[in-house]
Structure 1
Amino acid sequence: MARMKQFKKPRNQEKISMNKTKRAIFTLLFLSLMNAAVAQEKQETHDAPAPPNLPSVAQRYIDFYSSLQLDFAIDPDSITIQPGAQKEVRYTLKATSKQGAINISYEGISCDNRQKIIYAVGRSDGSWSRARSPEWAAIYTTGLNLQHANLANGYFCSGNALSGDLKSILKRFETKQPLDAIVR
């Protein structure tokens, strides 16, 4: 009997086949990682507080602090006191540069531990962009970000406690009579 010659795949076809397999595995791995990341982002978004509607130009802001580069104002209608042990006050802050650029953010200050957090930043279209990883950070009375020290010491906090109810906090802004402002 005549022996039939067996055909072998050329080596380059084996490599092509392996490359396709590797690509398919990599693609599946990548898609599963992306799916996990999206699921985690949805969970984190679910836990973050919903920012209020971005104040329009027609709404009023109350100036409370000016640095060499920026003027800071707060939307009194956005101020809320959160229930719970952390004694957190949330608010919408407007920072205006001397050249006229405006930044708006939705933030919180914890009187309990003297920390601040940024939950969202306003977009030019009037919507909010949630902070990617909102984290609590210490409030310092020196250096940059003195606006937070002025809010905490002058309006929101008395020691590690709230400095009164919402009505008394709003009155301090309206009358421009802070408890103990840190002006530098």
Structure 2
Amino acid sequence: MKATTLAMAALAACAVLAGCSHTPKSHTEASDKDESTFTYLLERQSKWTENKLDALPPLPQSANLLPFEVSQNTPLRFAVDAKSIDVGSDGVVRYTIVVTSPSGAQNINYEGIRCDNYEWRQYAGLNADHNGWDSSVATRWRRIENGDLNAYQATLYKDYFCANKLPAASAKTIVNNIRYGRTAASLIH
């Protein structure tokens, strides 16, 4: 009886495995797609299109600046303009950054962080007359650097702007999180 049961189980297993075997397609059925590579649905790369930037925000006012910590080892101070933060339907969080040196010199840029692939780009910088934007300094998308003392894009990405490769929240929530120092790590506890 035991031998019969084992033989039946073996035959059933062979039948299942035979049903799972792969039969190569004929040349007329073959496709150009390599079926041996499996891709999870959420990892599939769809064709991404960046939203068109119709207008640049007004230059930042000091009353609207929200300071945030990047590193205790850098003498620079960092702040984003609360009025400029925009969460786009393309998954890009756009913002104006103000970087201030110990002597008071400022670097002001309008930038975007793309949450799905850990990249950033600059759209414009403060012009030489300090009265408007200069779009000629715009850059292409590039990888966010983590190791620099002044890697504020990495801080914004990880602590405030992005979670699970998506924008972390609405612009209003992001502004409040920066204003009250609620980083992604502090929200877990």
TM-score (norm 1): 0.65
- Where do 1:31-180 residues align within 5 Å? 49-57=54-62, 59-67=63-71, 68-84=74-90, 87-123=91-127, 124-180=129-185
| Deviant stretches of 4+, over 4 Å | none
The RMSD of aligned alpha carbons is 2.0
Amino acid corresponding to residue 113 of structure 1 in structure 2 = N
Of structures 1 and 2, the larger Rg is shown by 1
Give the percent of matched residue pairs that are identical in Structure 1 and Structure 2. Answer: 33
Offset, 1:132: 4.1
Offset, 1:131: 3.5
| Corresponding pairs, count | 132
Q: Which moved more, 1:98-107 or 1:164-173?
A: 164-173
Offset, 1:50: 2.6
Q: What are the Cα deviations for residues 110-136 of structure 1, in whole angstroms up to 9, with x where unaligned?
A: 001110000000124321111345200
Looking at structure 1, the residues matched to 85 and 54 of structure 2 have their Cα atoms a distance apart, in angstroms, of 14
Looking at structure 1, the residues matched to 149 and 180 of structure 2 have their Cα atoms a distance apart, in angstroms, of 26
Q: What are the Cα deviations for residues 46-91 of structure 1, in whole angstroms up to 9, with x where unaligned?
A: x65531111234x32111125423110001111001112xx10000
Offset, 1:178: 1.1
Q: Which moved more, 1:143-152 or 1:64-73?
A: 64-73
TM-score (norm 2): 0.63
Structure 2: gaps of 5 or more residues: 1-51
Match of 2:18 in 1: none
Q: What are the Cα deviations for residues 14-35 of structure 1, in whole angstroms up to 9, with x where unaligned?
A: xxxxxxxxxxxxxxxxxxxxxx
